[in-house]
Structure 1
């Protein structure tokens, strides 16, 4: 069976649909008892900034419905400059933030699909390392990182809280 999902750069016209998905993720994290994303971040201006900087990507189904959103950033992440632990490489890296999956309808495996789909974009852009972080209690994302071969590197502090940091080296 052919995969009918596609990943494309987000456009400002996608903002409302993306924001709906982000709000679902905020609510899901709240229901799971997490403090992640419960303080007004991310918000529509953060997502609009992602889009205007070319960082925002959306996953679409065959009917062009937005299944998920992710920010893929090819710039130094200030929070990653200091780590309690060690990154596995010193090479330039891509950074993934704000991955959120549509809960209506929820499609199992979308976060894994997106994390896989951004890898060739990184390599084509000359980046052979991806760094990510998440809350200690974000079991879903921790499972995705493990499944896709991300290596735990230590803790970074993002917006005042410790987060688990991971890196994956991509082959050419």
Structure 2
């Protein structure tokens, strides 16, 4: 059974390897423009760890299989949504930068389940070319809500799932 725990600074090298793998996986699957120029950087992830927003998914032996960011509270990039609307205006949790090592199936499901154990209203966004993530989100019951723009001005597809729905 996989477990989720807060990322520790000692995990940073393995977490960065997972992001390297995820970038290569995205490129190989038709998503060549997301997470470019070394994003997310080591310093960025280090700050997320220090802020308490970074988590890892581990196997029974403690091997890190995946990572993600989970924040309770408003995301400034979600204030304006286009070509649609959020399902509600209630407080929500946000998932960002979910990535898996590719060593085992079910990592995304474990991460999403953990998030819903901590909050029932979750928002997430992904790149238009990230068909794998779009499939995961749809399979897991997220509804496409519209389009948002991230800090660098690029478009993302916005999703939301309310556990009670």
TM-score class, shorter-chain normalisation, is over 0.9
Aligned to 2:111: 114
1:154 paired residue number? 146
Q: Distance in 2 between matches of 1:47 and 1:120?
A: 23
Are the equivalent residues in 1 in contact too, given 2:100–2:108 (CA < 8 A)? yes
Structure 2: runs of 5 or more not aligned: none
Number of residue equivalences: 161
Match of 2:28 in 1: 31
The 1-side partners of 2:42 and 2:157 are apart by 25
Offset of 1:30 from its aligned partner? 2.1
Q: Give the superposed CA RMSD.
A: 1.2
State the Cα distance separating 1:148 from its structure 2 match. Answer: 1.2
Secondary structure, counterpart of 2:10 in structure 1: helix
If the length of structure 2 is used for normalisation, what is the TM-score?
Answer: 0.92
Q: Scaled by the length of structure 1, what TM-score is found?
A: 0.89
Select 1:18's aligned residue among 15, 18, 21.
Answer: 15
* 1:72-124: CA deviation from partner (whole Å, max 9, x where unpaired): 01132111011102001100110000000002xx21221122112211122xx
Q: Distance in 2 between matches of 1:109 and 1:5?
A: 9
**C-alpha deviation, 1:46, in angstroms:** 1.4
CA distance in 2, matches of 1:11, 1:83: 34
Match of 1:90 in 2: 89
4+ runs deviating over 3 angstroms: none
Residue 150 of structure 1 and its aligned partner are, at CA, apart by 0.6
Q: Note the C-alpha offset of 1:129.
A: 1.1
Alignment deviations for residues 29-56 of structure 1 (CA, whole Å, 9 cap, x no partner): 2223320001232111111111111111
